[in-house]
Amino acid sequence: MGKVLIIDINKCNGCHNCQIACKDEHVGNDWSPIARPQPMTGHFWTKVTDKVRGSVPKVKVSYLHSICRHCDEAPCIKACTEKAIYKRPDGIVIIDPLKCRGHKDCIRECPYEDVIWFNEELNISQKCTFCAHLIDKGWNETRCSDACPTGAFTFGEEEELKELISMAELSEIDLKTKPRVYFIGLPKRFIGATLFDPEEDEVIIGADVSIINASNKKEISIKTDDFGDFWVDGLSPDNYTIIIKKDGYAEKRLDADLADKDVNLGDIPMAREDK
């Protein structure tokens, strides 16, 4: 029971409307006892970051979101010696701006990045409130969810959104903190390349490419397209072996390390078998 926010990364086009709507709602407005004003610059209670993946010409951009998860097992609540942070019956976690004494224990203990911000002028920690001041007036949306033009944000009752929640991914941290913000479509890894025949100076169309995960041996098969390209997304961070076969050409084996980043293998020359 309680409020949840589900962010579908696949639907986010990086317009930053959510970030701006949060500013519009909270900069210069004192919603005590829910929140005091957010600083004009530098602080983002919901923050969109561009993650550029791969290298030219095989590049994808994903938009990542930082926001308080309104955890059911919130380390910030446990860390606050002033007992200034509390969870409402509707699941929303609030830092009481009148009780906060600026010890920053919550910032140290929150396991998520760029979630709690320290307002030097007011000497208090601040973060997303799920716009509780609006919910209490009968709103069914937060300002950020209301502002999203692509429907990437879904805000509502946990009971009614079980199906969407079941599609979300949880990290190891999430399993401990039990967040109320869920993500769908978090970026994985991709690998891509272009095959070409150096003698003909032509791309190789329809080559068979197998991408094999080194840990679980799971194999994905794909053919190069009309531009000699193959491009596979959604891979887990790991090491891979790539085997390329095409009639008339010598088989090619390559290794790729996708543990930390997406990989563009670039232009791969294929040698004729009779050479």
Which residues of the chain form contacts with ligand SF4 (CB under 6 A)?
21-22, 25, 45-46, 67-71, 74-76, 93, 110, 112, 115-116, 127-131, 142-144, 177
CB-wise, 87 or 188, nearer to ligand SF4?
A: 87
Q: At its nearest, how many Å lie between ligand SF4 and the CB of residue 116?
A: 5
Where helices occur in 88-229 by DSSP H, the ranges are 105-109, 132-135, 143-147, 162-166, 172-177
CB-wise, 112 or 182, nearer to ligand SF4?
A: 112
Q: At its nearest, how many Å lie between ligand SF4 and the CB of residue 105?
A: 11
CB-wise, 84 or 211, nearer to ligand SF4?
A: 84
Q: At its nearest, how many Å lie between ligand SF4 and the CB of residue 125?
A: 8
Written as one letter, the residue type at 65 is H
Asked whether 25 and 143 are in contact (CB, 8 A), the reply is yes
DSSP-derived letter for residue 31 is B
Q: At its nearest, how many Å lie between ligand SF4 and the CB of residue 9?
A: 16
Q: How far apart are the first and last CA of the chain?
A: 69
CB-wise, 21 or 161, nearer to ligand SF4?
A: 21
The phi, psi pair for 146, rounded to 5°, reads: -65, -30
Tokens of 63: 């938009």
CB-wise, 74 or 211, nearer to ligand SF4?
A: 74
Tokens of 24: 């519009």
- Stated as kind and residue range, the H or E segment containing 50 is strand 46-55
Q: At its nearest, how many Å lie between ligand SF4 and the CB of residue 216?
A: 32
